[in-house]
């Protein structure tokens, strides 16, 4: 188990396998003074290892490249590196972090689509050659700053959820790929593969089927133009369940066997991120205030409630969407809350009598 209080400073404790998560959280709360009740994470690194075993069991032919943006805790990097994972980094800070843990440049992908020139020069200086690109402006920038780069052409995929207002499309369209490949050839930049961008909220295995079919078309275009393409990156979108892994593996490998048989020598990789860490980390927050609102109208004040109407309590925490809940800005993530009752004097009262529970609206 790992407790994280104020990153990058964190503590690691080895606990018995039967230790309950709630006991770890409660014990840490007891150690804090009332003024220091900041939010903190507790992580079960064993959960990351178990997820890796699930991956190797259900996706044995696909090498994972962990998306560092999902959780850049040093312990996560250390564990996944020891398990043989590659890493995808979206900026220079993530590149430096991964390299500081001894990850070789061959196991790193610079996945940021819009890159700063200084970051591209950093990858060139440090031998990180595998970069993602999806437009001509980035292509020309890379050709100037990193002529030895090997590109993964990022291609947009069908929307996983058309009703998702936060959904965003990344990557070039299939019809624009030939022009981009021809431009890369003229600029002398090598294209070695295709990367599909798939949302982490995707639940349709057919999206992967279409992505692999499109990738085969792009491979054919590239080989016709003169590139030797050898990497197929099916992207992310992995929720963490074994059922989803089995479903995706069945859909993906049937298409891979059809379009990219082992005789082609093409390497298949993917970019699981939250798959590894979402089940491993638990966030403990402190309730700093509350407001009573009407069940049918949250803007009403407490004194507007009718005598027989049961209120809802709206709670305010010392964390938010610009901190540990930042994933809610881009994903449909709903946290599963669990209440830990602590007395005012910072002493856990395990004998506290049960009290009436009230519902709270989700935001």
Compute the distance between CA of residue 268 and CA of residue 326 in angstroms, rounded to an integer: 30
Same-domain pairing of 256 and 118: yes
Give tens-digit pLDDT for 256-276.
999 999 899 999 999 998 889
User: pLDDT higher for 125 or 301?
Assistant: 125
Please report the DSSP string for 86-135 in residue order: EEEESSHHHHHHHHHTT--GGGEEE--SS--HHHHHHHHHTT--EEEE-S
Residue 56 lies in a domain: yes
Please report the pLDDT score of residue 350 as a whole number. Answer: 46
Domains of the chain: total: 2
pLDDT at residue 129 is higher than 90: yes
Same-domain pairing of 102 and 159: yes
pLDDT at residue 83 is higher than 60: yes
Which 8-state DSSP code applies to residue 212?
Answer: H
Residue 295 lies in a domain: no
Residue 74 lies in a domain: yes
Give tens-digit pLDDT for 298-322.
444 444 555 556 677 777 776 665 5
CA distances from 277 to 179, 225, 240 (A): 38, 40, 9
Same-domain pairing of 222 and 264: yes
Same-domain pairing of 27 and 154: no
Same-domain pairing of 23 and 162: no
Same-domain pairing of 110 and 203: yes
Same-domain pairing of 24 and 62: no
Same-domain pairing of 218 and 324: no
Same-domain pairing of 19 and 116: no
Compute the distance between CA of residue 350 and CA of residue 362 in angstroms, rounded to an integer: 27
Nearest to 78 by CA among 23, 28, 10, 152: 10
Residue 338 lies in a domain: no
Please report the pLDDT score of residue 243 as a whole number. Answer: 80
Q: Residue 38's domain spans which residues?
A: 2-43+281-287+318-329
Nearest to 287 by CA among 32, 28, 22, 39: 39
Please report the pLDDT score of residue 70 as a whole number. Answer: 87
Q: What is the CATH number of the domain that holds 227?
A: 3.20.20.10
Same-domain pairing of 16 and 154: no
Q: In this structure, are residues 128 and 161 in contact, taking their beta carbons and an 8 Å threshold? A: no
Residue 259 lies in a domain: yes
Same-domain pairing of 144 and 37: no
Give tens-digit pLDDT for 28-66.
666 666 556 777 777 788 889 999 999 999 889 999 999
CA distances from 357 to 302, 318, 343 (A): 17, 22, 17
Residue 112 lies in a domain: yes
Residue 86 lies in a domain: yes
Please report the pLDDT score of residue 325 as a whole number. Answer: 58
247, 277, 307 — which closes off a domain? 277
Same-domain pairing of 150 and 243: yes
Give tens-digit pLDDT for 217-255.
999 999 999 999 999 999 887 876 778 888 888 888 889
């Amino acid at each position: 188990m790992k407790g994280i209080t104020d990153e990058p400073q964190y503590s690691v404790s080895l606990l018995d396998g039967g230790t309950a998560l709630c006991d770890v959280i409660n014990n840490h709360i007891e150690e804090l003074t009332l003024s220091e009740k900041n939010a903190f994470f507790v992580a079960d690194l064993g959960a990351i290892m178990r997820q890796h075993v699930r991956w190797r069991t259900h996706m044995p032919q696909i090498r994972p490249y962990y998306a560092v943006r999902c959780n850049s805790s040093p312990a996560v990097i250390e564990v996944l590196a020891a398990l043989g994972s590659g890493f995808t980094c979206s900026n220079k800070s993530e590149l430096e972090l991964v390299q500081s843990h001894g990850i070789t440049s061959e196991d790193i992908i610079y996945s940021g689509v819009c890159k700063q020139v200084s970051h591209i020069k950093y990858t060139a200086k440090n031998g990180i050659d595998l970069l993602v690109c999806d437009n001509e402006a980035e292509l020309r920038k890379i050709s100037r700053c990193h002529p030895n780069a090997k590109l993964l052409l990022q291609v947009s995929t069908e929307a996983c959820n058309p009703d998702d207002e936060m959904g965003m499309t990344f990557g070039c369209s299939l019809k624009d790929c030939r022009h981009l490949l021809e431009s890369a050839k003229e600029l002398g930049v090598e294209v070695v593969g295709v990367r599909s961008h798939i949302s982490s909220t995707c639940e349709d295995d057919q999206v992967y089927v279409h992505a692999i079919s499109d990738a085969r078309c792009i491979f054919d275009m590239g080989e016709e133009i003169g590139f030797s393409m050898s990497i197929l990156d099916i992207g992310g979108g992995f929720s963490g369940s074994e059922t989803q892994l089995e479903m995706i593996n069945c859909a993906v490998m049937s298409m891979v066997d059809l379009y990219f048989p082992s005789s082609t020598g093409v390497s298949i990789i993917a970019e699981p991120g939250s798959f590894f860490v979402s089940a491993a980390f638990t966030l403990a927050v402190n309730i700093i205030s509350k407001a009573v609102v009407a069940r049918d109208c949250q803007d009403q004040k407490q004194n507007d409630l009718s005598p027989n109407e049961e209120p809802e309590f709206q709670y305010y925490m010392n964390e938010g969407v610009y901190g540990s809940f930042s994933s809610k800005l881009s994903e449909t993530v709903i946290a599963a809350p669990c209440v830990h009752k602590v007395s005012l004097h910072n002493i856990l009262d395990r004998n506290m009598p049960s009290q009436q529970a009230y519902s709270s609206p989700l935001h």
